[in-house]
Amino acid sequence: MEHLEPDPVRARFPRVLITGAGGQLGTALAEEFPWADARPRGGLDVAGPLPVAEIPDLVLHCAAWTDVDAAEGDPDGARAVNVLGTRRVVELGAPVVYYSTDYVFDGTKGSPYVESDEPNPLSVYGKTKLDGERELELEDGWVVRSSWLFGPTGHNFVRTMLRLGAERESVRVVADQRGSPTYVGHLAGATRALVSLPYGLHHVAADGDCTWADFAEAIFEQAGLPCRVERISTAELGRPAPRPGYSVLRSERPGTPRLPHWREGLAACLARLRAR
Catalytic residue list: 125
Alpha carbon distance 188, 41 (integer Å): 19
Q: Which amino acid is at 180?
A: S
Say if strands 96-101 and 58-61 run parallel, antiparallel, or are unpaired: parallel
What amino acid occupies position 275? Answer: A
Round the CA-based radius of gyration of the chain to a whole number and report it.
18
92 contacts 59 by C-beta, under 8 angstroms? yes
- CA 104 – CA 100 distance, rounded (Å): 8
User: In angstroms, rounded to a whole number, what is the distance separating the alpha carbons of residues 248 and 257?
Assistant: 16
Q: What share of the chain is helix, strand, coil (3-state, %, to 5)?
A: 35, 20, 45
Residue 254 DSSP label: T
By DSSP bridging, strand 170-174 and strand 37-39 are unpaired
